């Protein structure tokens, strides 16, 4: 896992190595082990390296293959790279390293744009063709690895990077607030779908997309993967026992794939079904000396801030080397500025600070962890899925439980200059219409897997772990597992209040006490209720001169929230006040 960046110019202007260096410096936590830059013609690539596979200098990046006329900056991990290497060796290719980056480069040389369909893993990369001057940008199927882009100099320059703040550090970015993105942030639970970001001048490459940037600046995109919920009549009637058997085999393979590394691999153990199942599968496969990690927070307003009773149970059952971190109120407050700074985009979930502090602790012991994100989105684990099963209005039913506010509520919060179309409503409406399934649940699962998951939980994990040079791998987002989950009829996923088939599989591996309990999450009660020092921080931020001059939020609305924060909670149990504060804190942290 690393940080990549680069620049290509489309006129006679030379690329800015100073801008490349600033981007690399900003991303140094993503790759603390090494740095490198490569300039050829009108293209420059930059790289920050976290050494996970092939720790030698032979895998230094950017990697240049003079014979093939190709150079690459790569971020991620290709889990099947050794199989691909053997296949390419049979075709006559010679390798000089033991890592996956060189495999990506030679796979592109042999298969062209179709190479991405052969990769099992998470990735974002840039490949430069020396002779044509063409630049190839790509992102993995489920958007686990980020890639941000900014056009500049009258559209005669393109810069890209693994983080948005890196592009800001490069300079010359239009930092005007994007009205559509602001609506998504305030309405669609802070999920801002690609290509948007909160800033007009920065876009992001959509997942499962490979973009070809020609020497004259023209671009073409190819979406190379699409999740398919269609089933044959035979699949629809397949006994649930057969689905369970296939699911367990696919899960085992997904977890095993993500153990490939030249350094130890640990597990983030929340104590929920998903992370516990990962631990159980690793133990079943014979992993010994496995390190597991949990975090908890002080209670507030009678709400408990940890789930140690369950993570402890799993750690004892499977004999892991278990580390617990209990975060006090003072440490939590002190960590908030650094947590905000680690965000590539403003993210409202309380989980961010939890993952940030957990990653700090984990990074002292291992450099790679497996994590349970994605299971709820692909196996219908959230509370809003069962009510959708029989709804006559999927859009309204989904918005009622997921949207933080409707368009009228948005207008009450935002100043008139930023009020435009009902972007969130229209986006979900179009997305649901594009999915040909007649099942409202499957429409929601499609949206949540391909959009919400990418730009909320997955982005959160990437940002917070990489802030500490920690690589997080997510077996539930193995694309073969996601494809299988889409094929499984919804009734099997909705059983037992959600994730029914996954829970049934888990019973074969882990203690039932972890399965048959209320759904948990990363509880950070102090932020949910925004009082004491947290309220002081929020008040000072939203009433600051910078915030007032920016003029995003209506003053009367801000004062209403400040007067009684606990009275203004979203349907997903988030604080509306914290939502405003997070955006303003992120903008100020990035000097905007």
Interval 539-589: pLDDT, tens? 999 999 999 999 999 999 999 999 999 899 899 888 999 999 999 999 999
Tokens of 286: 């014979």
Residue 36 Cα distances to 4, 5, 122, 131, 573, angstroms: 10, 11, 22, 22, 44
Beta strand ranges found along 117-204 (DSSP E): 121-129, 135-139, 148-152, 157-161, 203-204
Per-residue pLDDT band for 397 (boundaries 50, 70, 90) equals very high
Residue 228 Cα distances to 9, 430, 436, angstroms: 38, 17, 10
Query: φ and ψ at 250, to 5 degrees?
Result: -70, -40
Per-residue pLDDT band for 455 (boundaries 50, 70, 90) equals very high
Measured between alpha carbons, how far is 338 from 331 in angstroms, rounded to an integer? 11
Q: Domain-by-domain residue ranges, the chain?
A: 2-223, 233-379+444-525, 390-414+530-589
pLDDT per position as a tens digit, 559-571: 999 999 989 989 9
Decide if pLDDT at 302 tops 70: no
Measured between alpha carbons, how far is 494 from 412 in angstroms, rounded to an integer? 36
Pick among 3.20.10.10, 3.40.190.10, 3.30.70.100, 3.40.50.620: CATH of 233-379+444-525: 3.40.50.620
Measured between alpha carbons, how far is 471 from 1 in angstroms, rounded to an integer? 6
Judge whether 294 and 324 are in contact, CB under 8 Å.
Answer: yes
Measured between alpha carbons, how far is 95 from 84 in angstroms, rounded to an integer? 12
Q: What is the pLDDT of the chain when averaged over all its residues?
A: 93
Per-residue pLDDT band for 285 (boundaries 50, 70, 90) equals confident
Query: Strands 265-268 and 291-297: what pairing?
Result: parallel
CATH 3.60.20.10 fits 2-223, yes or no: yes
What does DSSP assign to residue 178?
P
Residue 239 Cα distances to 246, 258, 560, angstroms: 11, 30, 54
Write down the residue that tokens 């099992």 correspond to.
120
**Residues paired with 36 in a beta bridge:** 47
Q: Which residues contact 242 (CB under 8 A, 6 or more apart)?
A: none
pLDDT per position as a tens digit, 147-176: 999 998 788 999 999 999 999 999 999 999
Short-list 499, 494, 504, 490, CA closest to 520:
499
Measured between alpha carbons, how far is 489 from 473 in angstroms, rounded to an integer? 27
Tokens of 68: 């093939």
What does DSSP assign to residue 38?
E
Judge whether 122 and 144 are in contact, CB under 8 Å.
Answer: yes
Measured between alpha carbons, how far is 477 from 462 in angstroms, rounded to an integer? 13
Per-residue pLDDT band for 531 (boundaries 50, 70, 90) equals confident
How many C-alpha atoms does 335 have within 13 Å on its Cβ side?
Answer: 24
Beta strand ranges found along 382-426 (DSSP E): none
pLDDT per position as a tens digit, 119-146: 999 999 999 999 999 999 999 999 999 9
Query: φ and ψ at 334, to 5 degrees?
Result: -65, -30
């Amino acid at each position: 896992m690393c940080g990549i960046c680069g620049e290509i110019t489309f006129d006679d202007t030379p690329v800015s190595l100073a801008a490349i260096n600033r981007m690399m410096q900003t991303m140094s936590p993503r790759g603390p082990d090494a740095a490198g830059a490569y300039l050829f013609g009108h293209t420059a690539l930059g790289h920050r390296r976290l050494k996970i596979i092939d720790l030698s200098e032979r895998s230094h990046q950017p990697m240049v293959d003079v014979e093939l006329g190709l150079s690459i900056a790569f971020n991620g991990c290709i889990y099947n790279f050794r199989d691909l290497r053997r296949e390419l060796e049979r075709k006559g290719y010679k390798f000089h390293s033991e890592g996956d980056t060189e495999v990506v480069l030679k796979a592109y040389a042999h298969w062209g744009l179709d190479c991405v369909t052969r990769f099992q893993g998470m990735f974002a990369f840039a490949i430069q063709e020396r002779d044509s001057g063409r630049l190839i940008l790509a992102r993995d199927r489920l958007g686990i690895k980020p890639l941000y882009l900014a056009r500049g100099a009258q559209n005669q320059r393109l810069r890209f990077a693994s983080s948005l703040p890196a592009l800001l550090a490069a300079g010359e970015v239009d930092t005007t607030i994007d009205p559509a993105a602001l609506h998504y942030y305030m309405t669609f639970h802070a999920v801002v779908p690609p290509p948007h970001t909160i800033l007009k001048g920065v876009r992001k490459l959509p997942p499962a997309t490979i973009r070809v940037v020609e020497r004259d600046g023209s671009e073409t995109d190819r979406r190379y993967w699409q999740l398919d919920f269609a089933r044959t009549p035979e699949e629809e009637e397949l006994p649930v026992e057969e689905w369970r058997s296939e699911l367990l085999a696919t899960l085992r393979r997904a977890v095993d794939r993500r153990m490939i590394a030249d350094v130890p691999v640990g597990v983030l153990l929340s104590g929920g079904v998903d992370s516990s199942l990962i631990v159980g599968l690793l133990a079943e496969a014979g992993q010994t000396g496995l390190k597991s990690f949990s975090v908890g927070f002080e209670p507030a307003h009678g709400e408990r801030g940890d789930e140690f009773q369950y993570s402890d149970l799993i750690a004892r059952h499977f004999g892991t080397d278990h580390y617990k971190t209990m975060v006090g109120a003072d440490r939590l407050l002190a960590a908030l500025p650094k947590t905000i700074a680690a965000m590539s985009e403003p993210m409202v979930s309380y989980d961010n600070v939890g993952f940030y502090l957990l990653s700090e602790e984990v990074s002292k012991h291992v450099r790679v962890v497996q994590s349970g994100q994605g299971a709820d989105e692909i196996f219908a684990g959230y509370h809003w899925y069962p009510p959708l099963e029989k709804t006559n209005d999927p859009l309204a039913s989904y918005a009622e439980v997921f949207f933080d506010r409707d368009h009228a509520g948005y207008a009450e919060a935002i100043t008139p200059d930023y009020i435009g179309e009902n972007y969130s409503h229209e986006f979900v409406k179009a997305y649901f219409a594009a999915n040909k399934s007649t099942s409202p649940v499957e429409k929601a699962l499609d949206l949540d897997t391909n959009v919400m998951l990418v730009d909320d939980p997955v982005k959160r994990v990437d940002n917070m772990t990489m802030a500490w040079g920690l690589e997080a791998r997510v077996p539930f987002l193995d694309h073969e597992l996601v494809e299988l989950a889409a094929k499984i009829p919804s009734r099997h996923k909705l059983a037992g209040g959600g994730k029914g088939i996954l829970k049934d599989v888990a019973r074969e591996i882990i203690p039932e006490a972890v399965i048959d309990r209320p759904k948990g999450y990363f509880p950070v009660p102090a932020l949910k209720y925004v009082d004491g020092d947290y309220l002081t921080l929020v008040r000072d931020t939203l009433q600051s001169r910078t915030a007032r001059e920016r003029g995003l939020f209506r003053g009367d609305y801000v004062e209403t929230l400040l007067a009684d924060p606990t009275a203004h909670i979203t349907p997903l149990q988030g604080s509306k006040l914290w939502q405003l504060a997070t955006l303003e804190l992120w903008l100020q942290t990035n000097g905007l």
